[in-house]
């Protein structure tokens, strides 16, 4: 008569097998991802700003996300937070704008940076910085008035760009071509002298024809 013997495992061996199976299922990266996702969901439920905006996650997170700017303007801070939600694929519900702004700038900025740090671990960070402010329009001509002048009636001078300088040089060249040359002006002077001499000679001839002696002869008789 043969007896069948069953192999019995010690309790410690069974625990070791279960631990080894669990280790195969969960890698270190998977454990870290699960932890950070839990922290991110917890932030959505507990943060007062995100609660006011009724932010919720639909589907998988998207990214990368851009760091919100450091600003002292509440409107810019809210726009940065909404841009962060859009990049991550998070959706804001219907909320009152007055209630959101009543929370204050510090709370809005803390919520934005807190959510950003949670998200960048999961989806990565974008190196670019989004400028949410509107820069004022500046004229291409800069004022060249002397600094320190208090006179409001002083004319404002403007510095010319490269194209303006080229146009000014061309205009000066055209003007210089139209101006009379110095040698012509010098040559025109003797013409006036000849005209004067001719007029004097004509006057002397008229005096002779009229019977009157020339002026120089009259002067000679007076001397005698």
In the chain, the number of structural domains is: 1
pLDDT of residue 129: 62
Domain-located, residue 91 = yes
pLDDT of residue 26: 81
Domain-located, residue 39 = yes
pLDDT of residue 219: 46
- Mark the ranges of the chain whose per-residue pLDDT is less than 70: 1-24, 128-224
pLDDT of residue 133: 58
Query: Residue 168 forms beta bridges with which residues?
Result: none
Residues 156-214 pLDDT 10s: 444 455 555 666 666 666 555 555 555 544 454 554 455 445 544 555 544 444 445 44
Domain-located, residue 157 = no
Domain-located, residue 186 = no
Domain containing 47 equals 27-126
Buried b (16+ CB within 10 A) or exposed e, 104-139: ebebbbbbbbebbebbbbbbeeeeeeeebeeeeeee
């Amino acid at each position: 008569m043969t007896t069948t013997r069953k192999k019995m495992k010690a309790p410690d061996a069974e625990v070791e097998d279960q631990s080894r199976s669990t280790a195969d299922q969960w890698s270190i990266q998977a454990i870290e991802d699960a932890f950070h996702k839990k922290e991110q969901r917890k932030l959505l439920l507990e943060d007062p700003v995100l609660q006011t905006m009724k932010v919720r996650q639909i589907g998988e997170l998207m990214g990368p996300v851009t760091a919100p700017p450091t600003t002292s303007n509440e409107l810019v801070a809210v726009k940065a937070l909404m841009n962060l939600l859009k990049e991550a694929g998070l959706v804001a519900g219907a909320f009152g704008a007055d209630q959101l702004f009543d929370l204050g700038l510090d709370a809005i900025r803390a919520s934005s940076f807190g959510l950003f740090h949670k998200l960048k671990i999961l989806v990565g960070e974008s190196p670019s910085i989004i400028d949410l402010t509107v820069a004022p329009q500046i004229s291409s001509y800069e004022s060249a008035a002397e600094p320190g002048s208090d006179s409001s009636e002083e004319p404002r001078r403007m510095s010319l760009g490269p194209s303006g300088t080229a146009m000014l040089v061309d205009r000066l060249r055209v003007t210089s071509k139209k101006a009379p040359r110095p040698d012509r002006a010098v040559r025109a002077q003797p013409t006036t002298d000849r005209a004067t001499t001719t007029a004097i000679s004509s006057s002397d001839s008229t005096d002779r024809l009229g019977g009157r002696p020339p002026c120089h002869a009259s002067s000679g008789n007076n001397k005698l």
